[in-house]
Amino acid sequence: MATILLTAGPTRAYIDAVRFITNASSGRMARALAQALLTRGHRVTIVSGPVAIRYPRGARVIPVMTTGEMLEAALAELPGVDGVIAAAAPCDFEPPRRAAGKIPRSAAGIALALSPTVDVIATLAARAKSSRPARGRRPTWCVAFALEPGADARRACAKITAKHCDLIVVNDLTALESAATVVSVYDAGHDLVGAKRGTKAVVAAWLVRLVERLFVA
171 is catalytic: no
Count of residues making up the chain:
217
- Rounded to whole angstroms, what are the CA distances from 213 to 21, 90, 206, 207? 38, 28, 11, 10
φ, ψ of residue 5 to 5 degrees: the values are -100, 125
Residue 181's CATH number: 3.40.50.10300
Verdict on whether the full-model pTM lies above 0.75: yes
Range ranked top by mean pLDDT from 31-35, 128-132, 162-166, 172-176 = 31-35
- Structural domain range at position 99: 3-215
Q: Classify the phi-psi angles of 38: left when phi > 0, otherwise alpha if psi is within -120 to 50, otherwise beta.
A: alpha
Question: Taking the CB of residue 31, how many other CB atoms lie within 10 A of it?
Answer: 25
Pick from 149, 216, 217, 152: which is nearest to 190 by CA?
A: 152
pLDDT of res. 217 = 67
What pLDDT digit, counting tens, does each position of 131-161 carry? 766 655 678 999 999 887 776 788 888 888 9
Question: Taking the CB of residue 20, how many other CB atoms lie within 10 A of it?
Answer: 18
DSSP annotation string for 25-62: --SHHHHHHHHHHHHTT-EEEEEE-S-SS---TTSEEE
* Number of structural domains in the chain: 1
What pLDDT digit, counting tens, does each position of 177-195 carry? 777 888 999 999 999 999 9
- Rounded to whole angstroms, what are the CA distances from 119 to 95, 163, 164, 180, 197? 16, 9, 12, 27, 28
More confident residue, 174 or 211: 211
Alpha helix (H) ranges present in the chain?
28-39, 67-77, 120-130, 153-163, 200-215
DSSP secondary structure code for residue 10 in this structure? B
Q: Which one of 7, 23, 35, 171 is the catalytic residue?
A: 23
